[in-house]
Structure 1
Amino acid sequence: MPLARSQLMAVSDPFAHASDEDLLLAHASGDPRAAGALTQRVLPRVLAQALRMLANRAEAEDVAQDAMLRLWRIAPDWRRGEAQVSTWLYRVTANLCTDRLRKRRHVAIDMVAEPMDSAPSVAAQMQTGARLRALSDALAQLPERQAQAVALRHLEGLSNPQIAAIMDISVASVESLTARGKRALSAIMAGRKAELGYDDDEPT
């Protein structure tokens, strides 16, 4: 009897219905296929988070690789149910990015990350890339915890309870950090509007 489509998918991908934690624990138990499956699932999210914070693909790729290596190192000590793999990765990626942001100051325009848009004009690419870099450089000027909270809230779109779990702080602390960070970030970005060609009513 021919297998149904769902059955064929299950045979071709034995980890299709496994959770991130299941895959990590399977990797820790010595299953190399689990590591590959988990990497395919989470690496794009890690890379996207790092790229949004750093606005530099080479740096983002370095951070993503470092975050994944750290995940594999802690796999043998992972305790089921204590945390979510995605939450752990958000925290580690945010920490690695803020470490790089602290070391970064004003960077020449020729180091602006190449935009990801499919086919905008060259002028639009330069403007978009400059704005991404401006936002990233502005984050670098915030205190570390503010930068993390602002990035997780306004770049990643996470809720305050999610951020509280990632940063291991209270929701009230998240609200305070994001409010202060957003005010500081807005002030920094306001000083760059004329230089980067922002309109007065355009969000930063």
Structure 2
Amino acid sequence: MNEPDPDIELLTRIGNNEPQAVDEMVSRKLPRLLALAGRLLGDADEARDVAQESFLRIWKHAASWRAGQARFDTWLHRVALNLCYDHLRRRKERPWADADELPEVIDPAPRPEEQLEASARSAQMEAALAALPERQREAIVLQYYQELSNIEAAALMNISVDALESLLSRARRNLRSYLAEPSGTADLGRGKP
């Protein structure tokens, strides 16, 4: 964490009510927030709600942000994760419990058969992710889809890097097992985090 936080100057500008700074923050952070929430919740509307609430918290805390305690991006990911957990708790159900509820994935491939194959693979991966225990899914999403380092992902999850690597190892093993089953019926170890 020796390198300067690239978001501090932007937060200062937001704290000073500069409209351009708000626009820049949205364009910089929205895609990753939507991707994180979408992967964890499996619902585009809920993902947009989480992103919107995350931005409201940015505006609320921008003027009082103190550099040095944590990187802004780490804090923002933690806020979004907590909001996702709130949504999941309110739902009291497993995301994507029914394969028919999976979001349709649009692939811009030119050939229709390639689109169908890519969509089936994506739906299978989404179902496999949804079948993982919550902590394993969180570790996979943070590292592979959010492209966080092991150190950053472990810090967000409040666990050691070794614990994160253990979760990732179990998650990858469970995903391989699930994806190897023709009907995706493999038991992904729901009892193990």
Q: State if a TM-score over 0.5 links the two structures.
A: yes
Alignment-derived partner of residue 146 in structure 1: 136
Q: Which consecutive unaligned segments of at least 5 residues does structure 2 have? A: 185-193
Segments ≥4 residues shifted beyond 6 Å: none
Shift in Å, 1:45: 1.8
Q: Which has the larger Rg?
A: 1
- From the superposition, tell whether residues 128 and 186 of structure 1 become closer, same or farther in structure 2 (CA, over 3 Å): closer
1:85 aligned to which of 72, 83, 86: 72
Question: How many pairs are equivalent?
Answer: 175
Q: Does 1:171 align with 2:161?
A: yes
TM-score of the pair, normalised by structure 2 = 0.72
Alignment-derived partner of residue 134 in structure 1: 127
CA RMSD of aligned residues (A): 3.0
- From the superposition, tell whether residues 155 and 104 of structure 1 become closer, same or farther in structure 2 (CA, over 3 Å): farther
Identical columns (%):
40
One-letter identity of the residue aligned with 2:183: E
Is contact 1:150-1:181 (8 Å) kept? Answer: yes
Could you give the per-residue CA deviations for residues 12-37 of structure 1, whole angstroms, max 9, x where no partner exists? xxxxxx93221112212322321121
Alignment-derived partner of residue 13 in structure 1: none
Alignment-derived partner of residue 34 in structure 2: 47
The CA distance in 2 between the partners of 1:21 and 1:109, in whole Å, is 42
Q: Which consecutive unaligned segments of at least 5 residues does structure 1 have? A: 1-17, 197-204
Is contact 1:114-1:125 (8 Å) kept? Answer: no
Shift in Å, 1:172: 2.2
Alignment-derived partner of residue 183 in structure 2: 195
TM-score of the pair, normalised by structure 1 = 0.68
Could you give the per-residue CA deviations for residues 54-93 of structure 1, whole angstroms, max 9, x where no partner exists? 4432332222222222222222331022222222222222
Q: Does 1:59 align with 2:49?
A: no
The CA distance in 2 between the partners of 1:167 and 1:63, in whole Å, is 18
Shift in Å, 1:167: 2.8
Alignment-derived partner of residue 116 in structure 2: 123
